[in-house]
């Protein structure tokens, strides 16, 4: 069925927005812009360099095997994400990681990051598979926090390649509420869109594959409750980014209002508003999904 058909004269809501191939290049640019005069300048410039390397990898090595048609149909029949993080990825993700590290070797990285690049270059395949499993499971206590953003970045590109190849056919309807319909990961943020058919609609952005899916507003994105949802933001800071907090399940997810600032990019603006996470954390709310470019240490 077409994505946006007229049903009884009312335009239906596009439920799914597939990843765009410019995602990493735009993220790199936005991170560089945000870094100017920011308290986290060094980290944002580092994240920008990582996103730039991701953009290069996606451009130069776009092909990664994807599930065949029978597998896609099976997933769609059973409400399973076709690129599920529960299945180990093709080993090619490790080649992608090595190319990312090579690209980052050309960048002026902070000394600690440069050291980790060298360590990861020499890491054996089994150790990298353990890192991969821990990052995808959100088991950050089990991984060196310095390594996590590099592993996360390589996995993002690997999944982005697959999601790009599948396009709209990569989405499965009926995947568990709150999880990406393509890969089953939790979201990094939600975004209120502007312009055209998507004006005012809220989409969750996948923390791993950058696919976007629609969830109505004023509803907890983790437990679907509409009771006890409140919005916290930093006094005197931007009101274009708030934390949507749920009293029912005690979780939160940031929400970005593009009508207040249309330059925002999901992962970049999430990173640049870490102070908001700290505020909300102090109030006892747990974050729903990770930002894979953030070092959890
Ligand atoms: Zn996803
Ligand atoms: Zn909730």
Q: Give the Å distances, CA to CA, from 17 to 193, 237, 253.
A: 11, 30, 19
Q: Can you give the residue range of the structural domain that contains 57?
A: 21-170
Q: For residue 162, tell me if it sits in a domain.
A: yes
Task: Indicate which CATH number applies to the domain containing 136.
Answer: 3.90.1670.10
Predicted TM-score (pTM) above 0.85: yes
Distance in angstroms (rounded) separating the CA atoms of residues 227 and 248: 7
The pairing of strands 286-287 and 251-257 is: parallel
158 in a structural domain = yes
User: 235 pLDDT exceeds 70?
Assistant: yes
Number of domains in the chain: 1
Q: Please check whether residue 193 lies inside any domain of the structure.
A: no
Q: State how far the Cα of 297 lies from the Cα of 4, in Å rounded to an integer.
A: 43
The pLDDT of residue 11:
65
Span 233-256, average pLDDT: 95
Give the ligand at the shortest distance from the Cα of 247. 2
Taking the centre of ligand 2 as the mean of its atom positions, its distance from the CA of residue 222, in whole angstroms, is: 5
CA of 134 to the centre of ligand 1 (A): 17
Q: Are strands 10-11 and 241-246 parallel, antiparallel or unpaired?
A: unpaired
| Residues that place a CB less than 5 A from ion ligand 2 | 220, 222-223, 225, 246, 248-249
Residue 141 placed within a domain: yes
Average pLDDT, the chain: 94
pLDDT attached to residue 62: 87
Going from the Cα of 189 to the center of ligand 1, the distance in angstroms, rounded, reads 12
Spacing, Cα 50 to ligand 2 middle (Å): 32
Ligand nearest to the CA of 207: 1
- Please check whether residue 228 lies inside any domain of the structure: no
In this prediction, residue 169 carries a pLDDT of 94
What pLDDT score was predicted for residue 12?
A: 78
Q: Is residue 276 in some structural domain?
A: no
Q: Could you say which ligand is closest to the alpha carbon of residue 178?
A: 2
- Over the stretch 102-122, which tens digit does the pLDDT of each residue have? 999 988 899 999 999 999 999
Domain presence at residue 120:
yes
Task: Report how far ligand 2's centroid is from the alpha carbon of 97 (Å).
Answer: 35
């Amino acid at each position: 069925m077409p994505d946006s058909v007229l049903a009884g004269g009312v335009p239906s809501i596009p439920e799914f927005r597939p990843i765009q191939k410019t995602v990493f290049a735009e993220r790199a640019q936005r991170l560089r812009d945000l870094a100017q005069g920011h308290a986290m300048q060094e980290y944002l410039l580092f994240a920008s360099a990582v996103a730039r390397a991701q953009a290069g990898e996606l451009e130069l090595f776009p092909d990664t095997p994807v599930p065949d048609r029978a597998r896609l149909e099976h997933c769609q029949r059973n409400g399973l994400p076709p690129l599920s993080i529960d299945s180990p990825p093709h080993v090619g993700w490790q080649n992608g990681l090595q190319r990312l590290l090579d690209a980052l070797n050309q960048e002026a990285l902070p000394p600690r990051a440069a050291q980790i690049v060298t360590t990861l270059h020499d890491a054996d395949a089994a150790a990298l598979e353990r890192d991969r499993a821990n990052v995808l499971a959100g088991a950050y206590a089990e991984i060196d926090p310095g390594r996590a953003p590099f592993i996360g970045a390589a996995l993002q590109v690997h999944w982005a390649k697959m999601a790009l190849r599948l396009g709209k056919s990569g989405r499965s309807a009926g995947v568990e509420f709150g999880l990406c319909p393509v890969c089953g990961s939790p979201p990094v943020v939600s975004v209120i869109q502007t312009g055209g058919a998507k004006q005012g609609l809220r989409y969750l952005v996948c923390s791993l594959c950058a696919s976007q899916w629609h969830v109505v507003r004023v509803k907890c994105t983790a437990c679907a409750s509409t009771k006890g949802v409140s919005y916290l933001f930093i006094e005197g800071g931007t009101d274009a980014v708030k934390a949507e907090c749920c009293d029912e399940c005690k979780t939160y997810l940031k929400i970005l209002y593009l009508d207040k600032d249309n330059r925002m990019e999901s992962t970049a603006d999430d990173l640049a508003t870490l102070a908001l996470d700290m505020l909300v954390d102090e109030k006892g709310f747990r974050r729903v999904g990770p930002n894979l470019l953030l070092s959890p240490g």
